[in-house]
A and B are shown apart, each in its own frame.
Chain A
Amino acid sequence: MIFGAHIRRNSIKLDGHHNSALEQARGRMMLVMSIFMIAYAVLAFRVFDVSIIQGELGHVRAHHEQQDTVDLPADHVLKRGRIYDRNGVMLAGSLKTSSLYANPHLIDGVEETAQGLVNIFSDLSYGNVLQKLQSQKKFVWIKRNITPAEQYKVLELGQPGLEFEREDRRVYPQENLSAHILGFTNIDNHGLAGIERSFDQMLSAGEDINLSIDVRLQHVLRRELGKAISDFSAIGGAGIIMDVQTGELLAGTSLPDFKPHSLSDAKTSDLFNRMTLGVYELGSVFKIFSTAALLDTHNLPMGTTFDAREPIKIGRFTINDYHAQKRELTIPEIFMHSSNIGAALMAQQVGTEGIRNLYDDLGLLRPLDFEIKEVGRPIVADPWREITTLTASYGHGIATTPLQLIGAVSSIVNGGLLVKPNLVKGAEGDTPRESLRVISERTSKKMNKLLRLVVTQGTGGNADVVGYLVGGKTGTAEKSTKHGYDKKSLISSFVGVFPMDNPRYAIYIMVDEPKGNKKSHGYATAGWVAAPAVGRVVQSMVSILGIAPKEVKQGAEMEANLIRYLPLEDRKPAKKTGGHLVSY
């Protein structure tokens, strides 16, 4: 028993040892088994997940993404900013289009593919495409910015080597309308001219720009300038509408212009911006500045006379009058008949220093600091002699851009405060205005009366619009050539301002080389060419901007006290105000 017990105990002990080892082994096996089971279960699950759940849906997702080429916005490429007019009308924007490229390594049947592509894109040449397709590169552009219909046809070719990339393309919904101001970009969306160039960085960063121009006025100006150019078979022209208080450009155009979408069709002359880049001797409109200089520096009565009977001779120069009156002229007469002799005499009285200072203050002697970079450098005689002072008084011997001229005129008529022409609209309520005074308010008022007189009594009659007190000054200049001035090629321009009793808008129209027609009795001078165009612009402007006409009682006209300086036979009766409105 004891033995047995011993044995048993032993065996038990042995058994117990054995047993616990087995148990342990079994337990471990179980553990390993369950770990494997779980692992297989996880694997099975994962296979199911990857192949069924994600496989099916994932496929759809990948497909979806490829179609829209859109991922999360974080890595979305920035679109070039838009350009708007002052009322939020879009002038330039960007659209996504497809561009076709080829991977020549994957192209099968180079010749057929090239033929197929040429059939779709008529502007591609077979040889050119063939050469591209057989190159050793992995990427060659075939055609950028194609239409969806073209893309569809390319897909029909079934070539795996032809692929598409989505690209931004610049679009100008208004087409030619503001072409010279907006400029254009190259195919990689980098600005090469105009606002596109000068604000390239901002636009590239996706920021929008609001310009001060108004497309409606822009259209009116372009229409009327175009009419003047075609009526008088001119080679081109420029036009600007400016807010005389702020210097904002409300419209600006230069003709001929170009279609921004098909630049390759544009001639070099179409791309030339006459408004800001062209410099011209603009002629008698400069009498505004010389007269203002005289009135501002000398306290002379308007009745002061200057002897315009004889041409002025200085050295080899002779200063003559176009509308010669051959008598002594008062200041208003000099201004309204646009007497060169008179203007030269007035400038002589002011002196070189005075004339030059005012011209400099008005920014006529330096290139303009403007928002687009295509800005012309004025041509000024160097050194400035006495004869320069005399000729500059009527706009010869000094060449400026039309934009500078209208800026200077605005500074004269708005009460005498210098304005800086500008094109980009600032935030609302934030109208930075330079308050540098160039002439006194009194002189400015006198000038406004003189300008009105030109339209009611003088050379600018065709610009008058009843009820809107248009004032202005004509300027007809002969273009200078290598052999002196050419009597037949003229620059005819008119600067108009309205309403003259509280000037708000200045309009400048310049026509390059107009030829007289039957209606103008063969004349191609400013009074016939540019003045009526400005009148028509004013007429359209008032209904667009909703400006009410003013009735002026006879004898209460602002220029009334100047008329007495005119000889009786020169005085024209005032036009009747009041319209053709119906009354029952």
Chain B
Amino acid sequence: MKHLSVKTVAIFIVAILLGGLLFNTSQNVQKSQDDLRALHAEIEAEKETIGVLEVEWEYLNRPQRLEELAKKTLKMSVPEAGEVTGNMDDIPDLSTHASEVLIIPQAKPATFQRGGEL
């Protein structure tokens, strides 16, 4: 056993340790790669979902549909030119008349005049 000197044994042990370390590292790298791949896949899947949702959002918000819904559920219609103003003072302050009028946008503003008697 003269030839297996302390030095040789030590080298063996170091080699085995290094081998183990290498193995461990390679396992870690593989795991990280797996994680990364999974994350990328998740991101891609997420992006795709977002894409689908964006398309759906645009589809549901298309002006034609909004107009129909506004007409049907809110009884709103295209404002006439006379109902647009550039002057804030033209807009009546409904808060001071709160007791007199029913403030529900259920019809064109013009009918609020009659609304005073409600």
Interface residues of A (CB under 8 A from B): 23-24, 26-27, 30-31, 34, 38, 42, 45, 49, 53-54, 57, 61, 64-65, 68, 70-73, 76, 89-90, 93-96, 171, 173-175, 177, 215-216, 218-220, 223, 465-468, 538-540, 542-543, 547-550, 578-584
Contacts and interface: CB of A to CB of B under 8 A. Distances in A.
Contacts of A26: 1
Contacts, number: 142
A581 B92 CA distance: 8
A20 B3 CA distance: 11
B80 interface: yes
A219 B83 contact: no
A219 B63 contact: yes
A164 to B, nearest CB: 15
A582 B92 contact: yes
A93 B16 contact: no
Nearest to B78: A540
A71 B12 contact: no
A581 B85 contact: yes
B102 interface: no
A98 B17 CA distance: 50
Interface string B1-43: 1111000000010001001000100010010001011101100
B2 A27 contact: yes
Contact of B86 (A93, A171, A173, A548): A548
Contacts of A173: 55-56, 58-59, 62
Given A57-B34, A65-B37, A215 B81 contact: no
B3 A23 contact: yes
Given A68-B41, A215-B62, A468 B90 contact: no
B104 interface: no
B65 to A, nearest CB: 10
Contacts of B36: 72
A542 B45 contact: no
B83 A90 contact: no
Contacts of B86: 548-550
A216 to B, nearest CB: 5
B86 to A, nearest CB: 2
Given A61-B34, A215-B63, A548-B86, A465 B81 contact: yes
B83 A581 contact: yes
Interface in B76-106: 78-87, 90-92, 97
Contacts of A581: 82-83, 85, 90-92, 109
A57 B53 CA distance: 32
Contact of A38 (B16, B30, B110): B16
Contacts of A30: 1, 3-4
B40 A539 contact: no
A542 B81 contact: yes
A376 B88 CA distance: 48
Contact of B97 (A216, A219, A467, A584): A584
